Structure 1
Amino acid sequence: MFNRDTPYESRSGTADRIKSSVSASPSMAIIFLCVISFLLEVVLMSVAPNLGYLYMSTFQFDPNSLLTRPWTLVTYIFLHTGLLHLLFNMIVMYFFGTALERRVGNKQLLGVFFTAGILSAIGYTFLSRPIFGISPGSMIGASGAIYGVFAALTVLEPNLRVYVYFVPMRLKHALLLFAILDFLMVNSSDMIAHTAHLSGLFVGLYIGFRMKKMHDKYRVMRYAGRW
């Protein structure tokens, strides 16, 4: 999907990148959990529909139940509406997630993913109606969290080459394109939580700039110590 050879040294250096192998990859663990959750959903819906609906309703995020069911701020991430929804999210997570974890480390990747996922749900809850006049309903999917990963990676590697629908472009242009599309489609009836996408995107940008600032500060201190 894109060229991942562009180096970006994390604070932990080469050791973290070596540890971030496929066998110890949090991105792959997230993908695995999403796939298992989806398969469980399919099996339950086929064998025992009532249990399937119970499974979905228990773990999906509903803005009206934010205070009474706070666990859904995390669990909704691992649910998906269909195979295409799951496939698209997992492909993006595979490329962008593994690229980010190699650059900043496993813990930082998890921090970006779950912070963006939680805050995208909160943003969806409190920004949809006052800003766009949308009444937010129930929501599932990892898109908001993945947007955070996408945005953070863009801050660190803005010129990384990617292919968007087979069209080559730089990562920063791809992020801008998706941000514009989500903004233009925010009031559409496509059943996609565009405000959650945008919330996750801005969270990822903020975290990305914080990471970049810390990296730049560390690099200056390291080289200053050699004089």
Structure 2
Amino acid sequence: MFDLNTSYPSGDGRNSRTKGSIFTSPSITIIILCTLSFFLEMMPGIGPLYVSAFQLDPTNIILRPWTLVTYIFLHTSFWHLFFNMFVLFFFGPALERRVGNRQLLKIFFIAGILSAVGYAFLSRPIFNISPGPMIGASGAIYGVFAALAMLEPDLQVYVYFVPMRLKYALLLFALFDFFMVNSSDMIAHTAHLSGLFVGLYMGFQIKKTQEKYLQSRHPGRW
């Protein structure tokens, strides 16, 4: 989806000479956990109970706070899982190389949690939508996508085989979710938009920190 040969500085602004490994990548670990979780969902007898215990129910968040995280690892179908993990497989490691593993996890989970909060508490007052139970990593992945777009806006990607810069791809998906927010397609568009804005904010803060670091190291350039 983009140039995997691009070298990115690490989270503190310094260039990293160590190539990442799939064995140390938190994005790959998340993909494995989501895949294992999906197999549990498919098990007869166990699956429905498993989903019921860990899905996000907006009407019951206070009594089930763990679901703000656990819903991320559940998916409705093979294709739901496949497309989410496909996007994470490309964007996750790219962001890891840019900000480091710890920051990637921070962005992923904060975006995931706040996308659930946004879905639960903003759907009705802003879009007049009554939110039902929700599962899926889309909101968290939107956070990763948006943070990378903030840090590498001109990165070349392909959207349905059409080449474009990452910032335009993000804008395209944001507009799609905004205009589809009141549709009946069973997709939590408000969660996507919430995760996107969280990712933009966190990416902006990281970018400012890195620029300050570079300025302190090379004052003559600024």
The one-letter amino acid paired with 2:162 is V
**Counterpart for residue 112 of structure 2:** 117
Deviation of residue 20 (structure 1)? 3.2
**Counterpart for residue 175 of structure 1:** 170
- Which of residues 73, 79, 88 is equivalent to 2:74? 79
**Counterpart for residue 13 of structure 1:** 14
The one-letter amino acid paired with 1:4 is L
**Counterpart for residue 2 of structure 2:** 2
Q: Distance in 2 between matches of 1:132 and 1:87?
A: 29
**Counterpart for residue 134 of structure 2:** 139
Q: Distance in 2 between matches of 1:71 and 1:225?
A: 49
Identical positions, percent: 68
The one-letter amino acid paired with 2:177 is D
The one-letter amino acid paired with 2:125 is P
Q: Distance in 2 between matches of 1:154 and 1:28?
A: 20
The one-letter amino acid paired with 1:23 is F
Q: Distance in 2 between matches of 1:14 and 1:216?
A: 13
Contact 1:113 1:148 in 2 (8 A): yes
- Structure 1 stretches of 5 or more lacking a match? none
Which structure has greater helix proportion? Answer: 1
Contact 2:145 2:196 in 1 (8 A): yes
**Counterpart for residue 40 of structure 1:** 40
- 1:123 counterpart SS class: helix
The one-letter amino acid paired with 2:136 is G
Q: Distance in 1 between matches of 2:15 and 2:26?
A: 18
- Structure 2 stretches of 5 or more lacking a match? none
**Counterpart for residue 100 of structure 1:** 95
Q: How does 1:123-162 map to 2 (within 5 A)?
A: 123-162=118-157
Deviations 1:130-174 (A, max 9, x none): 000000010000000000000000001001111111111110000
Contact 1:4 1:160 in 2 (8 A): no
Q: Distance in 2 between matches of 1:18 and 1:83?
A: 34
Contact 1:123 1:199 in 2 (8 A): yes
